[in-house]
A and B are shown apart, each in its own frame.
Chain A
Amino acid sequence: MATDAFAGSFDTRTGTIYNVSGGDWDTISPAADGQKEQIVVNMGPQHPSTHGVLRLILQLEGETVVEARCGIGYLHTGIEKNLEFRNWTQGVTFVTRMDYLSPFFNETAYCLGVEKLLGITDQIPERAQVIRVMMMELNRISSHLVALATGGMELGALTAMIFGFRERELVLDIFEMVTGLRMNSAYVRPGGVAQDITDDQVLRIKETLPLLRSRLKDTTDLLVDNPIWMARTSGVGYLDLAGCMSLGMTGPVLRSTGLPHDLRKAQPYSGYDTYDFDVVTVDTADCYGRFLIRVGEMKQSLRIVEQCLERLDKPGPVMIQDAKIGWPAQLSVGSDGQGNSPEHINHIMAQSMEALIHHFKLVTEGFRVPTGQVYSAVESPRGELGVHVVSDGGTRPYRVHYRDPSFTNLQATAAMCEGSMISDVVAAVASIDPVMGGVDR
């Protein structure tokens, strides 16, 4: 073996280790005596095809993946710990930043938990629930669009990426119009939602929907019958029902095995049982099937949004009537930006000292939540998003734990990828659609 200053080698108990710093493999490693050569490749955490700051540790034999492991934690921000030092309402601002592609699901799951602890689940106004459902379903569309866009990009379909992100902006514009922010809105609050939606906004959403519908068709038509797309995804990333059950998979991955499990149908919350929609399933258990499910779910979400818009014709409160929980003020946009409405400011500053005290106590201290623990779950675009909330009777959460579907589903990487080609790893991970903000929290 040639001794090379730039590419030395040394023997260990498990085989020869080559240190390569330049040159050609052939001159460095003359075919290692007929042994099959395995190398370990770090894919990520900075890699355009790993769907975020995900580090894949792949043991390769040629281009075949022998072992695949995930390294996560690069986006850990300690949100669950931070929550324990903010009051219950402020918690929404944190949880919305976990899975940053589905903020409304994070917020709603958290608020449903807090409301269950407070025992006010059935006091949430009808209109607030309709708005929540509408925002969640619009969010499902925007999230699935990113799944298609980044998934397409990772497999080389750049047009799908451009289209997906462009269509997503239509939805984000709606979010911005309603909540003031494109992402991380902190819009859903314990007791209702932060702000009512105006007739004008409802009208503009109604106007957007036909455009969104036709654009969705354009985007998905790019891929649905595309032979290259099918060749890259059909039969790839296979995981059957038994695998899904034991690995705790939920969402599109579970439904791609043919099991129509959807929490919106199985354990309805926020009035989902009153909407007309179908659970989309396929039975291929592969990446292409999961893609078809996302396409189908976007259409179903549009159906739900249309039903929501009809119900929004009826005015009503959007925050619980209990003044000890509901935020005291509605926001309004003034000449100097967004803030409390002038009527409310006038009321607390000029008319009622009690109202001022009440406002101050509720905003700075917050409301108390009786001791206990609950688990609340919603069907997020990626599967079951569960929240375990523990209260010690104080104004702050004692413990909030998110069972994020991205975190759980990512465990299936090894089961989906081992034995396949390295290019299939990209397709498999994209079909899981992990959002690292949710994985690492």
Chain B
Amino acid sequence: MTEGPTSAPVTPREAGLEIAAGQVTPPAELLNLIEVRDGAFGSRGSGDTSGFGGLVQPVVMPGPTPPPYGGWFDDLAGELELALADHGLPMRSAVESVVVDRGEITFYVRREHLLIFATVLRDEPALRFEMCMGVSGVHYPLEAGRELHAVYNFQSITHNRRVRVEVAAPDADPHVPSITSVYPTNDWHERETYDFFGLIFDGHPALTRILMPDDWPGHPQRKDYPLGGIPVEYKGAKVPPPDLRREYS
């Protein structure tokens, strides 16, 4: 399922995104390309008699949603636009795209504007997202130039709302501004994301590893992190790492 570390990155265009995205073709660079699947049953190394062997399917995350977003999402977007404008920042330059999926709204924010975006979320009375529920990293190795994502969930107790903010950074320059100055709770969360993904949060007071040992090499939650097998004390046998085991999907 997971692409091995040796496979070359495929650009969204090479993966045939235009076909997959359907009638409204969103800009390819805004989509999260996860994987390009071929065949239907994941069989490898033997002849495929199913007739599906030639199938090539790009796997993408849900694409941008055009406004109106429905429900209170539109109020939220409107308030955000006004509040950002107060800071001299047009919504269009701060937010790459908005995705409404499964009743949740996600703002894809350009990383250079994350700090101001978070400040607005917290301080604007109409928004009032008092709490940040931390940051979670996601690694999309195939999304060229946007491999590392930091996903923030905010909660407003005043308005009883939740919103998700996602920023992306390229693997070659894994820097994202820290929002600990706005939400101190993100101190440990950002350290955790750094620990596991190698995302560097600029402005964090002490960005060190938190769960892995200090001298641990690499960032284990990345998709290209090599997995170890388990040596068995029987004639040098070894349980292979999970990505090399027999699988049924």
Interface residues of A (CB under 8 A from B): 72-73, 76, 78, 80-82, 84-85, 87, 116-117, 119, 245-250, 259, 261, 266-267, 361, 364-366, 371-375, 377, 384, 386, 388, 390, 392-396, 398-399, 401, 403, 407-408, 410-411, 440-441
When the two chains form their complex, are residues B2 and A84 in contact, meaning their CB atoms are under 8 A apart? Answer: yes
B249 touches A87 (CB 8 A): yes
Q: In the complex the two chains form, is A388's CB within 8 Å of B151's CB?
A: yes
- Distance between B221 CB and nearest chain A CB, rounded to angstroms: 6
Instruction: For residue A396, give the distance in angstroms from its CB to the closest CB of chain B.
Output: 6
Specify the chain A residue showing the minimal Cβ separation from B187.
Answer: A411
Residue in A85, A267, A394 whose CB lies within 8 Å of B160: A267
Check if B136 sits within 8 Å of A399, measured CB to CB: yes
Encoded as 1 (CB less than 8 Å from any A CB) or 0, chain B from 187 to 231 comes to 111001000100000000000011111000000110000000000
A249 proximity list for chain B (CB < 8 A): 185
**Least CB separation from B163: chain A residue:** A375
Q: Residues of A contacting B220 with CB < 8 Å?
A: 78, 81
For residue A361, which residue of chain B has the nearest CB?
B248
Set of chain B residues within 8 Å of A410, measured between Cβ atoms: 188
- B34 in complex: contacting residue of A116, A393, A395, A403, CB < 8 Å: A393
- Measured CB to CB, the closest approach of chain B to A189, in angstroms, equals 18
- Dominant SS at the B interface? mixed
* B131 pairs with A117, CB closer than 8 A: no
Contact B59 A393 (CB under 8 A): yes
Q: Which of A82, A266, A377, A408 has the most C-beta atoms of chain B within 10 angstroms of its own C-beta?
A: A408
Instruction: List 13 contacting pairs A-B, 8 Å CB cutoff, sorted by A.
Output: A84-B2, A116-B103, A248-B185, A266-B160, A372-B101, A372-B102, A388-B153, A394-B1, A401-B151, A407-B188, A407-B192, A410-B188, A411-B188
Instruction: Establish whether residues A371 and B59, one from each chain, have CB atoms under 8 Å apart when the complex forms.
Output: yes
A72-B210, A403-B134, A403-B153 are contacts. A408–B188 as well, Cβ < 8 Å? yes
With contacts A116-B103, A366-B249, A408-B189 known, what are 10 further pairs, Cβ within 8 A? A76-B212, A82-B242, A248-B131, A248-B183, A266-B157, A365-B248, A365-B249, A371-B60, A395-B249, A440-B211
Q: Which residue of B lies closest to A84 (CB)?
A: B2
Determine if A364 and B185 form an interchain contact, defined as CB atoms under 8 angstroms apart: no
Chain B residues close to A by CB (< 8 Å)? 1-2, 34-35, 59-62, 101-104, 106, 130-134, 136-139, 151, 153, 155, 157, 160, 162, 164, 183-189, 192, 196, 209-213, 220-221, 242-243, 248-249
- In the complex where A364-B248, A395-B249 touch, is A374 in contact with B102 (Cβ < 8 A)? yes
Do B60 and A375 have beta carbons less than 8 Å apart? no
Q: In the complex, are the beta carbons of B138 and A390 less than 8 A apart?
A: yes
Question: In whole angstroms, what is the CA distance A374 to B188 when docked?
Answer: 22
* A156 to B134 Cα, complex, angstroms: 35
- Residue contact A392 to B59, C-beta cutoff 8 Å: yes
Do A411 and B2 have beta carbons less than 8 Å apart? no
Tell me, rounded to whole Å, the shortest Cβ–Cβ distance linking B76 to chain A: 16
CB distance A73 to B210 under 8 Å? yes
Establish whether residues A403 and B131, one from each chain, have CB atoms under 8 Å apart when the complex forms: no
CB within 8 Å for A247 and B160 given contacts A81-B220, A374-B104: no
Is the pair B1, A371 in contact by a Cβ cutoff of 8 Å? no
Contacts of B151 in A (CB 8 A): 373, 388, 401
Instruction: Give complex CA distance A411, B192 in Å.
Output: 13
Min Cβ gap B214→A in Å is 9
A384→B130 CA distance, assembly (Å): 14
- Least Cβ distance of B96 to chain A in Å? 16
Task: Give B1 Cβ to nearest chain A Cβ, in Å.
Answer: 5
Known interface pairs A245-B131, A371-B61; A73-B185 also in contact (CB < 8 Å): no
Q: Which chain B residue has the least Cβ–Cβ distance from A388?
A: B136
Tell me, in angstroms, the Cα distance from A396 to B243 when the chains sit together.
Answer: 12
Selected from B133, B139, B162, B212, the residue in CB contact (under 8 A) with A73 is B212
Q: Which of the residues A73, A248, A396 comes within 8 Å of B134, measured between beta carbons?
A: A248
List the 8 closest pairs (A to B, CB-CB), nearest first: A248-B185, A401-B136, A85-B242, A73-B211, A365-B248, A392-B34, A395-B249, A364-B248
Closest B-chain residue to A440, C-beta based?
A: B211
The smallest beta-carbon distance between A365 and chain B, in angstroms, is 4
**A259 neighbours in B (Cβ, 8 Å):** 157
Docked complex Cα distance between A246 and B130 (Å): 7
Residues B34 and A248 in contact, CB atoms below 8 Å apart: no
Q: How far is the CA of A167 from the CA of B35 in the complex (A)?
A: 50
CB pair B134–A80 under 8 Å, yes or no, is no
Q: B211 — which chain A residues lie within 8 A by C-beta?
A: 72-73, 76, 440-441
Contacts of B160 in A (CB 8 A): 266-267
Q: Are B61 and A373 in contact (CB under 8 A)?
A: yes
Would you give the shortest CB distance from A374 to chain B, in whole angstroms?
6
Q: How far is the CA of A392 from the CA of B34 in the complex (A)?
A: 6
A80 B185 Cβ-Cβ under 8 A: no
Q: Flag if B1 contacts A396 (CB, 8 Å).
A: yes
Complex partner residue of A408 from B61, B130, B185, B242, CB under 8 angstroms = B185
The reply to whether A403 and B249 contact each other, CB–CB distance below 8 Å, is no
B131 to chain A: closest residue by CB: A248
Nearest neighbor of B214 in chain A, beta-carbon distance: A73
How distant is the Cα of A361 from the Cα of B248 in the complex, in angstroms?
Answer: 8
For A366, what are the chain B residues with a Cβ–Cβ distance below 8 Å?
A: 249
Q: Residues of A contacting B2 with CB < 8 Å?
A: 84
Distance A117 CA – B61 CA, assembled complex (angstroms): 12
Complex CA–CA separation, A373 to B164 (angstroms): 10
- Give A127 Cβ to nearest chain B Cβ, in Å: 25
